Structures are given as C-alpha cells and as structure tokens.
C-alpha cells in the first residue's frame, strides 16, 4: 500500500540498516509463470535492449507492482520512447524502471495530470522530492499498457545501478516466474576478411554459412578455407520455454585451437555507449543484407566494456584450426558450435556478389568483365591485376589507405567513386566546398571516413539531390551538414532525407542569408530540399463530451505541435503517435466537457489547421 508519512520517513535510516539488500519480487503477476518478449542486452536496430519485455497476453491494465520498498524518483510521459514510465529508487541504491504503462497509480496519476496542466504540455518529465511518493514491496504503482514506442501490450522492466547503468535483472535475483530449458541457437556463422590479403574460400568478402544442429551441438558441413586476418561473426538468438520470441544471449565465448580469443558477458551497460552497437555488429551487412551479425572481435572505435577478452581478428595460416563457439543464456542453457577449418582437400570457391564496386573497411572492391584494370590517382594510371576470376568476371582490390582514386577503368567499364577526402576518426574536422560544409565531431566516427559526394538533378522528382556516402557508414554522434543553394524560390524549403524508393522523410534545417541549409544527422545518405504547403489534417472521431477524440495527421513534414482550449483555458490532449489519435484529458474526467472547444495543429513548416465547436 502506498504511504507518505513523517513517521515512516523518520524510520528510513533504521530500515536502510535493517535491509541493505532487499529481496525483489516479480513486477507483474508475481508468483505465476510469465513469458518474455525481450531480454537485457538484446541487439535491436540501433541500441541494446535495456531490460526485460514481459508479455501480458495482449492485454493492458494489469497491475504493476513495486519489486521492493522504494520512492518514486522520476515520472515520465512521452509520445514515443517509454511512454508512461516510472522510476522507483530502492534502499540499496538501485532503481527499477517500469515503462509503456497505460496509467499510473491514482495519486501519481493525479500528481502528473496537475503538473501537465500547470506546464500546459502532454510530454513531461518530473523528479518528485525524495520520499514524496513511497511504496512498499508489492504495492500497485501503475497498470501495464502499450504507450510510447511499444509495438504491442507488454511491460518493459529495467534494473539500474546508482550510476544509472542498466543491469541484467537475471543477475540481481532469480525469477521463478520465468522458466527456460531451451539452449541458444546459431542461425548463421560468418567469416569476414579484415585486410587486403585475407581470403575466405579464395575470395575477399564475408562468407555466410548456415550451421546444422544435433541436440545442442552445431556444426558446419561445408569445407572452409581461411587465410590472412579473419573476423568471425554469428547471428544468434535464444528462444525461451513457452514463447516464440527471439531473445538476446548474455555470454558468448570464441575459441580457436582451444585458446579463448573472445569472451563477452553482458552484466551491465551504459546508456552513453548505446550507439557503439554499430561497432559491435557488422553494421554494413545489417543495413545491406538485413542480417544482424555479432562480431566475435573488437572493431576499431568500439568503446563497449562488456568484453572479458577480445581480438582484432585471427591470422589464419594453411594448417587446420579447431573452431569452438559457446553460447550461454540467462538460465545457463548452453549451445556449442564446433568445426575444423582449413581441412585438407577441396572447398567450394566463393564468388562475392559485388554490384560494380563497394567499400569494405579500407578496401575498394570491384568487379569487371575485363582481365585488365587501372586506377587513375594523382595524375597517373596504376595498373591492377585481378585477384580472382570466374568465367567472365574479374575481381579487383585497392587499399584506400594508399590513395583515393579519381576513377577506375577496366575495358568498357569506368567507375567514378566520387571521393573527396579522407577523414580520420577521433578528431574535429571540417570540410568545405561550393556545394556543402561538413563538420565532424571527434566522437562522430568509429573509423576513417572516405568521404564520397555527388550532386545530381533527379528529373523524376524535379529536385537536386545531394548524396554523402550511404547508410552503411555508421556514425556514433551527429555530423553537421550545410547545403548551399541560393535559389530565392527555396527560401521556405527545408531538408528531407530520400530513401531508395524516393520517399521523402522530414529532417529539418536552419537557413541563413547566404543560402546555407544547416542540419544535423546521424545517418549519411541522400538528401534534398523541399517545401510543404499542405495544412495538417484534423478528423473528428468522437464529439462525445465525455470522450473527445480526433485523428491528426500531416502528409509531408509531420506534426510539430497541437494545442487545445476550452473557453480559452488549456485542455490537455493525450497523443497516441502510433495511431495518430488525440484524446481529451480534462482535470475532472467524471464531468462532461462544456464550453467552446478549439483545437489547433501545426506541422514542421508552420502550416496550421484549426477546428472549433461549442460543447
């Protein structure tokens, strides 16, 4: 039961001494078997998952419980992200987090609603005074929901330490509510060339192999021949008893010839290093092939610290090597992959799929139908020989650290990679030309950026498009780009991202008098300037005075703000961004809304739509 009492607060020092390490209970449906849709450290699109996703059978409104005595240290309401979220700080200094809630416990809900009205905003972050809201273990603190960026009803639950690093809840206490006797799976094993001389089955590239499974032992049936510096990568997941979801795996060990080369163990992680997931996985492969490979080596620029032992690839010679990969899930179920590499005998040749050319690490890799090629660099031609051929296809490699080619010729093929400069990681860097300015922070890059740029007129879109490398280049921090266009007809334009299907996504920009459109981005790719003159859409769903509801939408630049009044007084509107629904939240929800209602919605270009109605 919730309580706030001078008597209890006065006893807190004694309670701290009596219970330094509290025993935690499960945060929802405690005491009965539960199922998970996600685990801590699990690899997501652009971050590591920070906690447990606890399934609620598609339902909302299930009581969420305080796992131990503690006070509410933070309350959050947002349209995306965690949605309705509570942070409960406990006597041992740890904090538990409960996200995507439908609503808070009654006192907290009313407190939050009053603050939203005071600040006249729906999104809000509150930090109540210590012990203002104190809960006992097992008290209901809220109700499960689907708010924020949740893709379906569930409870997102986290444990954090005093430094606000997120912890693996399975390390904090044993959940009897979660049962699992299924060992992890390895769906793909990959061998990646890490230098110019590396080869996998005779070629440069990343060879993907699908292992076979017998009991909990995985093996590969194909002969694999490796030479040079090779990085080993895997696509893995962990099914748990009673649920089909693919969860993360906290512990992975790589051994070659019985020597441990790599050991990762996710016990705690820092939010400040979340973007380093792009160095932990094979980011270009994930973007291009939609397969997320966990590197079993530490790439340049990777600042993550959950590695017990790591490597920067393994230098394979011609003799046989014994490979072993061990995966342990949160319930100590173990799977193992064992394989012998570089066995004597034939192997299937590997011919990488290269569309004209690609940049892989520091290598320019291209394919031609001609057995002779030359690159033009610093006013001179340099002949190249193919390192591999297959019928009428010839494969070539050039180390970009030796220089950035102006163009490449091979028979009738002419490749223009459009290189401008080489930008090292770890330094502040600014590049200027007549079309743009690029400003790179010393923390923006994981590794050297070989900057490519084109400016072209798209006749179908009737727009100039500016392309910087592509999406396969990972960025840790934003870079700042200023596009130069002095056309007076574009004074009201802003920057949009262009995808492969020529769809536009609003980025936004600031314009100065010199025709510079400046924006921040954490993704390279193709951009353009465009206008938005279309007003947002407001469509009434319900004029019921006990439940006003509207659909709002903007077809191009997106919703910037919304504001409602009742007889010129602020009326809170709850925004469900996933469904584009606005719902009225009067202070007294038991009383019918009465008066002149006005709703105004504005998009990111300042276009506005207003509706009003006396109620």
Q: What pLDDT is attached to residue 308?
A: 98
- Distance of alpha carbon 427 from alpha carbon 144, whole angstroms: 45
Average pLDDT score, the chain: 94
The H-or-E segment that residue 197 falls in is none
Percent of all residues in the chain with a pLDDT value above 90, rounded to a whole number: 90
CATH number for the domain formed by residue range(s) 537-614:
2.60.40.760
b/e burial code for range 497-511 (CB count within 10 A of at least 16 → b): bbeeeeebebbebeb
pLDDT digits (tens, 9 = 90+) for 306-317: 999 999 999 999
Three-state SS at 10 = helix
Q: Which two tokens stand for residue 270?
A: 């820092």
CB neighbour list of residue 467: distance below 8 Å, 6 or more residues apart:
452, 453, 454, 455, 456, 525, 526, 527
CA torsion angle for 207, 284, 444, 123 (degrees, to 10)? -130
Three-state SS at 596 = strand
Q: Is residue 38 very low, low, confident or very high in pLDDT (cuts 50, 70, 90)?
A: very high
Task: Please classify residue 189 by burial: count the beta carbons closer than 10 Å to its beta carbon, then call 0-12 exposed, 13-18 middle and 19+ buried.
Answer: buried
Q: Is the pLDDT of residue 22 over 70?
A: no
Q: Is the pLDDT of residue 11 over 70?
A: no
Q: Is the pLDDT of residue 452 over 90?
A: yes
Q: What pLDDT is attached to residue 589?
A: 86
Q: Is residue 8 very low, low, confident or very high in pLDDT (cuts 50, 70, 90)?
A: very low
pLDDT digits (tens, 9 = 90+) for 424-437: 999 999 999 999 99
Query: What are the backbone angles phi and psi of residue 288, rounded to the nearest 5°?
Result: -80, -40
pTM of the model: 0.92
- Length, in residues, of the chain: 615
CA torsion angle for 497, 498, 504, 507 (degrees, to 10)? 0
Nearest Cα residue to 178 out of 29, 328, 360, 17: 29
Query: Which residues face 600 on adjacent strands?
Result: 563, 610
- Name the residue with tokens 């109540």: 128
Q: Which two tokens stand for residue 17?
A: 């001494």
Q: 6-172, superfamily in CATH?
A: Glucose Permease (Domain IIA) (2.70.70.10)
Tell me, what DSSP letter sits at residue 43?
B
- Distance of alpha carbon 338 from alpha carbon 211, whole angstroms: 10
Nearest Cα residue to 599 out of 609, 589, 591: 609
- Distance of alpha carbon 524 from alpha carbon 527, whole angstroms: 9
Nearest Cα residue to 185 out of 44, 322, 304, 333: 333
* Topology (CATH) of 421-530: Chondroitinase Ac; Chain A, domain 3 (2.60.220)
CB neighbour list of residue 148: distance below 8 Å, 6 or more residues apart:
78, 79, 80, 81, 82, 83, 84, 85, 99, 100
**CA 68-241-336 angle, 5° bins:** 110
Q: Is the pLDDT of residue 6 over 80?
A: no
Query: What are the backbone angles phi and psi of residue 378, rounded to the nearest 5°?
Result: 55, 50
- Distance of alpha carbon 399 from alpha carbon 377, whole angstroms: 12
Q: What pLDDT is attached to residue 21?
A: 46
Domain coordinates in residue numbering, the chain? 6-172, 185-341, 357-417, 421-530, 537-614
The mean per-residue pLDDT over the stretch 543-555 comes to 94
Nearest Cα residue to 526 out of 581, 469, 588, 450: 469
- Distance of alpha carbon 435 from alpha carbon 458, whole angstroms: 16
- Distance of alpha carbon 485 from alpha carbon 80, whole angstroms: 34
- Distance of alpha carbon 569 from alpha carbon 593, whole angstroms: 12
Q: Is the pLDDT of residue 344 over 90?
A: no
6-172 and 537-614 in the same fold: no
Answer for the pair 294, 281: CB distance below 8 angstroms, yes or no.
yes
- Distance of alpha carbon 498 from alpha carbon 483, whole angstroms: 15
The mean per-residue pLDDT over the stretch 104-117 comes to 97
């Amino acid at each position: 039961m919730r309580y706030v009492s001078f008597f209890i607060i006065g006893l807190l020092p004694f309670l701290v001494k009596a219970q330094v390490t509290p025993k935690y209970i499960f945060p929802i449906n405690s005491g009965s078997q539960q199922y998970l849709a996600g685990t801590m450290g699990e690899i997501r699109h652009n971050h590591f998952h920070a906690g447990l996703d606890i399934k609620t059978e598609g339902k909302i409104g299930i009581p969420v419980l305080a796992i131990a005595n503690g006070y509410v240290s933070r309350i959050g309401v947002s349209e995306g992200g965690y949605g309705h979220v509570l942070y409960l700080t406990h006597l041992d200094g740890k904090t538990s987090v409960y996200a995507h809630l439908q609503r808070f416990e009654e006192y907290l809900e009313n407190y939050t609603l009053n603050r939203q009205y005071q600040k006249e905003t729906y999104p809000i972050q509150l930090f109540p005074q210590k012990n203002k809201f104190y809960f006992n273990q097992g008290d209901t603190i809220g109700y499960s929901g689907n708010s924020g960026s949740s893709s379906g009803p569930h409870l997102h639950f986290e444990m954090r330490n005093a430094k606000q690093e997120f912890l693996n809840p399975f390390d904090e206490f044993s959940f009897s509510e979660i049962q699992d006797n299924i060992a992890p799976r390895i769906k793909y094993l990959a061998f990646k060339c890490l230098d110019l001389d590396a080869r996998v089955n005779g070629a440069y590239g990343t060879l993907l192999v699908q292992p076979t499974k017998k009991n909990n032992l995985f093996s590969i049936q194909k002969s694999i021949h490796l030479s040079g510096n090779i990085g080993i990568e895997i696509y893995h997941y962990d099914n748990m008893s009673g649920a089909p979801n693919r969860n993360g795996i906290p512990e992975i060990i790589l051994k070659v010839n019985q020597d441990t080369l790599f050991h990762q163990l996710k016990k705690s992680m820092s939010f400040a290093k979340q973007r380093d997931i792009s160095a932990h996985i094979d980011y270009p492969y994930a973007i291009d092939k939609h397969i997320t490979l966990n590197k079993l080596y530490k790439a340049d620029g990777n600042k993550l610290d959950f590695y017990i032992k790591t490597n920067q690839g393994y230098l394979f010679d011609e003799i046989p090597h014994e490979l072993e990969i061990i995966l342990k899930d949160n319930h100590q179920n173990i799977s193992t992959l064992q394989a012998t590499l570089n066995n004597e005998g034939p192997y299937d040749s590997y011919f990488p799929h290269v569309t004209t050319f690609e940049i892989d690490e520091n290598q320019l890799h291209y394919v031609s139908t001609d057995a002779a090629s030359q690159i033009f660099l610093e006013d001179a031609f340099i002949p190249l020989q193919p390192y591999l051929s297959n019928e009428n296809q010839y494969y070539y490699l050039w180390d970009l650290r030796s220089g950035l080619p102006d163009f490449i010729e091979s028979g009738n093929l002419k490749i223009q990679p459009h290189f401008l400069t080489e930008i090292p990681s770890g330094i502040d860097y600014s590049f200027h030309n007549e079309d743009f300015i690029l400003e790179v922070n010393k923390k923006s890059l994981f590794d050297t950026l070989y900057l490519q740029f084109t400016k072209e007129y798209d006749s179908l879109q009737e727009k100039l498009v500016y392309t910087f490398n592509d999406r396969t280049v990972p960025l840790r921090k934003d870079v700042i780009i200023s596009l130069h266009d002095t056309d007076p007809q574009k004074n009201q334009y802003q920057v949009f991202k262009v995808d492969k299907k020529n769809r536009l996504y609003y980025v936004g920009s600031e314009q100065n008098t010199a025709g510079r459109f400046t924006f921040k981005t954490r993704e390279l790719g193709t951009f353009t300037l465009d206008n938005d003159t279309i007003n947002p859409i407001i469509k009434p769903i319900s004029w019921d005075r006990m439940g006003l509801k509207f659909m709002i939408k903007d077809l191009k630049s997106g919703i910037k703000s919304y504001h409602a009044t009742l007889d010129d007084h602020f009326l809170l509107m709850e925004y469900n961004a996933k469904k584009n629904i606005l719902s009225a939240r009067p202070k007294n929800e038991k009383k019918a809304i009465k008066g002149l209602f006005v709703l105004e919605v504005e998009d990111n270009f300042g276009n506005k739509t207003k509706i009003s109605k006396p109620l």
